Structure 1
């Protein structure tokens, strides 16, 4: 009986392992599909948009959703569907760029802090000071010193997000430095760069990739907040934050002006968080073994 039970367990385990990757990690699949649709929508905005998103038509103000205007029109007669499509470009560019820059800069600074005690003592005090300020307030302060533009918004959000990546990368390096395989590599005469790129960096990639997804989601929300309060991209640029800021004054009359861009932002952020959770489960060896 025991042998038969063991064979059954092996058969079940083998069947589970043979399942397609998209079935083993449904959150990653769902997140990628939604993000793919949003990115495709942003790239194809010039072809999908029915009207120029900046074209004014005072005779067609505050039109409800209809076959002519799928998402209705705003207070100036601009097509909300077209503006929503072009607003996806701002959010996608902001999220991807901030995630790449913040992760790259934070990884470099975290590696330096984890290997050198002098750099660690100075750098981490600076990072602690930056982290003492809420990220949105720090971004607002930085935007107040510059003119409104997408590039300045990205820089402001990167400065606010880098300290969190630095602390994560530093903690990973400090943990890996005590690992047996790193001590063995050091004893065998492996140089600093060999130790860094051959042993430390590959083991630090997985948690940083997961962190970068959350940074992308946070960057999209921060950009929308900055645009909503008038401290982000110029008001002439279609963005989901600008659209919600303009629509709030007539929300009771035309709630779709806030509903549609807000729904797009929520779905996009949800997809990124689903992707991050799925990647965490996929890249964590302990969780991966449980799911097999």
Structure 2
């Protein structure tokens, strides 16, 4: 007698066991986002191999020259190679956002965990979040720059401060939901301590929305760094950033539009790539 097997097919089991983050990266949005971000990141990391020009070297012979065999993207108003400045500008932007966003995420999560321990700490954390959120990003940037002066450190500090309440409120809300679930109630009844319950049981179940927020925050950080550099309160020249390159290109848009093409394309690819990744992750973790 032949019996029918009720076990799922191997392909079904494989899909079911696949982590939602990996599944998100295999979707159309995830693949395109990963490709766009990967292209820009590789360009910044491989800058010394992709160009032989120093981004600060000036030449009086080729001012605002269009693209050529020697300068693929042309030169700026001081004769500096635009391809070199764009690639090193990408590197500078990546260093800033890759430091500021994780730092803000860690601090925000730390405040949220403290808030979950005691109602008084919760009130203090909420008021701190409100204080930071009371200042728009650029106003906060100008205030920090007025104290620390322009440079790379103020940009990192501004990005981190802007992200603290975002991640703090995200994790706090997730903790409030998770600690009322059956598994958390059962753990408390079984005698699990508050700290162990929070760190070993509740926190791992709050990771998914934080990962989605991380991808979205990288997009916001690109805008924030670009805005600060565009206004002249970011990374100091002559070190290039994408925002400072756009600021320098603004007076020459009519006569040399190629000046702004490289940094504008890089910013667009980064923002679009991070946005697609955040959408793909959000769709998968909500299933």
**Structure 1 length normalisation: TM-score?**
0.88
Counterpart residue number, 2:82: 80
Detail structure 1 runs of 4+ shifted over 3 Å in the superposition. Answer: 13-24
Tell me, in whole angstroms, the C-alpha distance in 2 between the residues paired with 1:273 and 1:23. Answer: 13
Q: 1:96-141 CA distances to partner (integer Å, 9 max, x unpaired)? A: 2222111111111112113321011122112112112112211221
Counterpart residue number, 2:207: 205
Q: Report if the CA contact (8 A) 2:230-2:244 is conserved.
A: yes
1:196 positional shift:
1.5
Counterpart residue number, 1:237: 239
* Alignment coverage as a number of residue pairs: 276
1:14 positional shift:
5.2
Counterpart residue number, 1:30: 32
Q: Report if the CA contact (8 A) 1:110-1:167 is conserved.
A: yes
Q: Report if the CA contact (8 A) 1:95-1:217 is conserved.
A: no
Worse-superposed segment, 69-78 or 254-263: 254-263
Tell me, in whole angstroms, the C-alpha distance in 1 between the residues paired with 2:283 and 2:29. Answer: 10
Q: Report if the CA contact (8 A) 1:94-1:220 is conserved.
A: no
Tell me, in whole angstroms, the C-alpha distance in 2 between the residues paired with 1:169 and 1:128. Answer: 15
Counterpart residue number, 2:190: 188
1:202 positional shift:
0.5
Counterpart residue number, 2:3: none
Q: Report if the CA contact (8 A) 1:148-1:232 is conserved.
A: yes
Q: Report if the CA contact (8 A) 1:30-1:271 is conserved.
A: yes
Counterpart residue number, 1:222: 224
Tell me, in whole angstroms, the C-alpha distance in 1 between the residues paired with 2:15 and 2:197. Answer: 34
Counterpart residue number, 1:283: 285
1:271 positional shift:
0.3
SS across alignment from 1:253: coil
Q: Report if the CA contact (8 A) 1:213-1:273 is conserved.
A: yes
Can you give the 5+ residue segments of structure 1 that lack an aligned partner in the other structure? 1-9, 287-292
Q: Report if the CA contact (8 A) 2:101-2:214 is conserved.
A: yes
Distance 1:274 1:76, change over 3 A: same
1:23 positional shift:
8.4
Distance 1:277 1:73, change over 3 A: same
Counterpart residue number, 1:44: 46
Q: Report if the CA contact (8 A) 1:115-1:173 is conserved.
A: no
Q: Report if the CA contact (8 A) 1:243-1:261 is conserved.
A: yes
Counterpart residue number, 1:91: 93
Q: Report if the CA contact (8 A) 2:55-2:84 is conserved.
A: yes
Counterpart residue number, 1:58: 60
Q: Report if the CA contact (8 A) 1:173-1:200 is conserved.
A: yes
**Structure 2 length normalisation: TM-score?**
0.90
Higher relative contact order (CA 8 A, sep 6+): 2
